[in-house]
């Protein structure tokens, strides 16, 4: 299950050439990514994956993408988790690495 971005990007290029406003194109791009993410999650859940989804990674620092994706997943009846205490980007990875290092140091 892989999302092919080429049709999305080609459509955005066509719409740009046609003179459509950047804000409208950006909104359409984010909506398409949210829909693609929700569709892919729906496929893996239908194949037996858990119905709890964690949205993480730097892309979900984008409030519009996070909000739209979360809404679509919740409409599917899925439980959606989003970190609020630890950054969802590389800061979260660094935090995890520091936690592992601290645990190893305590072990001796």
Contact 1, 39 (CB under 8 A): no
Residues facing 79 on adjacent strands: 52
Boundaries of every domain in the chain:
6-107
Residues 60-95: pLDDT tens digits?
Answer: 999 999 999 999 999 999 999 998 888 888 888 898
Asked whether the predicted pLDDT for residue 31 surpasses 80, the reply is: yes
CATH T-level topology, domain 6-107: Nucleotidyltransferase; domain 5 (3.30.420)
Return the pLDDT at 54: 93
Task: Provide the pLDDT confidence category of residue 16 given band limits of 50, 70 and 90.
Answer: very high
């Amino acid at each position: 299950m892989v999302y092919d971005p080429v049709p999305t990007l080609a459509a955005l290029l066509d719409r740009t050439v046609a003179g459509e406003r950047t804000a409208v194109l950006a909104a359409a791009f984010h909506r398409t990514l949210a829909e693609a993410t929700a569709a892919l999650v729906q496929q893996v859940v239908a194949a037996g994956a858990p119905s709890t989804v964690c949205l993480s990674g730097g892309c979900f620092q984008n409030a519009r993408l996070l909000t739209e994706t979360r809404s679509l997943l919740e409409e599917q009846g899925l439980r959606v988790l989003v970190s609020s205490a630890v950054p969802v980007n590389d800061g979260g990875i660094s935090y995890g690495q520091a936690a592992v290092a601290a645990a190893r140091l305590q072990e001796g």
